[in-house]
A and B are shown apart, each in its own frame.
Chain A
Amino acid sequence: MEDALNKAIHTMQEEGAEFCDARYEDRWGLIISVSNRELRNLSTNRIAGVGLRARIGGSWGSCSGGRFDPESLREMARKAVRAARSGDCPGTPIPEQPAHTGKFQMKVRVPPANVPVEEKLAMVKDLDEAQHISDRIVNTNAIYSESKRTTVLVNSFGSRLRWEDGRLRLNAIAVARENGRMESYREGLAGSKGMELIQQRDLNEMGVSAAREAIVQLGAVKPPSGRVTCITDPEISGLLAHEVMGHASEADEVVKRRSFLTDRIGQVVADEQITMVDDGTLEGGYGTMLFDDEGTPASRTVVIKNGVYNSYLHDLETGASMGVPSTGNGRHEDFGRRVWVRMTNTFFEAGDWKLEEMLEDVKFGVLTDKFVNGMEDPVGGSFEAKAHRGFLIENGRITRPLRAMTLTGKALDILHTTDAVGDKVSMDPGTCGKGTEDHVPVSSGGPYCRSQIIIGGD
Chain B
Amino acid sequence: MEEVKLDAVTLAHMALDAAGKAGATQAEAFAVRSVTKSVYVDDTRIKICEEKEDQGIAMRAMKGKRLAQVSSTAVFENDAVACAKVATLLADRSPSSRTYDRFPLPSQATLSPGPWDDRIESAEAANLIELVKATIGTVAERGVKVPRGVLRVATIESTILNTNGVDVSHRSTLMYANYDSMAEGTSPGEGVVSFNSPWLEDYAPESLGERLAQQALSARDAKALDGPVKGTVMIAPWELGQMLATSIMPAVSAESVYKKRSPWAGMEGKQVASEKLTIVDDPSDRRGLLSAAYDDEGVPTSVKRVVEKGVLKTYLYDSYNSSIDRKVPSGNGMRRRPQDAQYLFRSSLACAPVNMVVSPGRRPPEEIISSMDEGVVVDRFAFPTVSPYTGAFSLEVRSAHIVRNGSTAGHIKHALVTGNMFDGLKNIVEVGNDATIAGDTILPSIAFDGFEVVGSR
Contact = CB atoms under 8 A, between A and B. Distances in A.
A44 B86 contact: yes
Interface string B30-47: 000000000010110111
Nearest to A76: B51
A146 interface: no
Contact of A457 (B73, B94, B342, B392): B392
Contact of A42 (B94, B188, B395, B418): B94
Given A86-B129, A256-B43, A437 B340 contact: yes
A51 B187 CA distance: 40
A86 B396 contact: no
Contacts of B190: 377, 379-380
B194 A375 contact: no
Given A39-B97, A456-B454, A44 B71 contact: yes
A195 to B, nearest CB: 17
B90 interface: yes
B390 interface: yes
Interface in B145-204: 145, 147-148, 178, 180, 182, 184, 187-188, 190, 194
Contacts of B356: none
A158 interface: no
B72 A377 contact: no
Interface string B76-88: 0000000000100
B303 interface: no
B22 interface: no
Pick from B2, B42, B190, B194 the residue with the most CB of A within 10 Å.
B42
A338 B48 contact: yes
B393 A458 contact: yes
A38 B90 contact: no
A42 B67 contact: yes
A46 interface: yes
A33 to B, nearest CB: 9
Nearest to B420: A458
A64 B382 CA distance: 32
Contact of A458 (B50, B54, B392): B392
Contact of B348 (A41, A253, A404): A41
A255 B148 CA distance: 12
Interface string A28-53: 00010001101101111111110100
B49 A61 contact: yes
B416 interface: yes
Interface size class of B (residues with CB under 8 A): 35 or more
Contacts of A255: 43
Given A44-B86, A45-B346, A84-B49, A382 B396 contact: yes
A98 interface: no
Contact of B71 (A45, A88, A117, A258): A45
B325 to A, nearest CB: 14
A36 B256 CA distance: 12
B48 A59 contact: yes
B419 interface: yes
A118 B93 contact: yes
B309 to A, nearest CB: 23
Contacts of B98: 38
A89 B70 contact: no
B73 A43 contact: no
| A interface SS class | strand
Contacts of A125: 95
B184 to A, nearest CB: 8
A255 B413 CA distance: 26
B389 A406 contact: no
Interface in A72-123: 79, 83-84, 86-90, 117-118, 121
Interface stretch (A148-156, A180-188, A304-312, A419-427): A180-188
Contact of A83 (B125, B147, B413): B125
Given A226-B454, A384-B383, A258 B73 contact: no
Given A258-B182, A380-B413, A87 B48 contact: yes
A396 interface: no
Interface string A380-402: 10101010000000000000000
A60 B129 contact: no
Contacts of B182: 258, 379
B387 A47 contact: no
Interface of B: 2, 5, 40, 42-43, 45-56, 67-75, 86, 90, 93-95, 97-98, 125-126, 129, 145, 147-148, 178, 180, 182, 184, 187-188, 190, 194, 259-261, 263, 339-340, 342-343, 346, 348, 382-383, 385, 387, 389-390, 392-396, 398, 413-414, 416, 418-420, 452, 454, 456-457
Given A118-B93, A406-B396, 13 more contacts: A45-B70, A49-B54, A49-B73, A60-B49, A64-B50, A64-B52, A86-B49, A138-B259, A253-B147, A372-B385, A404-B390, A435-B180, A458-B420
Give me the 5 closest cross-chain CB pairs, A-B, nearest first. Answer: A83-B49, A406-B394, A375-B383, A43-B69, A138-B260
27 contacts: A42-B90, A42-B94, A43-B69, A48-B72, A58-B47, A59-B49, A62-B51, A64-B53, A69-B2, A83-B51, A83-B125, A86-B49, A86-B126, A87-B49, A183-B389, A255-B43, A256-B42, A336-B52, A373-B383, A373-B385, A375-B396, A380-B190, A380-B414, A406-B418, A409-B456, A456-B416, A456-B418
Interface of A: 31, 35-36, 38-39, 41-49, 51, 58-67, 69, 79, 83-84, 86-90, 117-118, 121, 125, 138-139, 175, 177, 181-184, 225-227, 252-253, 255-258, 334, 336-338, 372-375, 377, 379-380, 382, 384, 386, 403-406, 408-410, 435-437, 454, 456-458
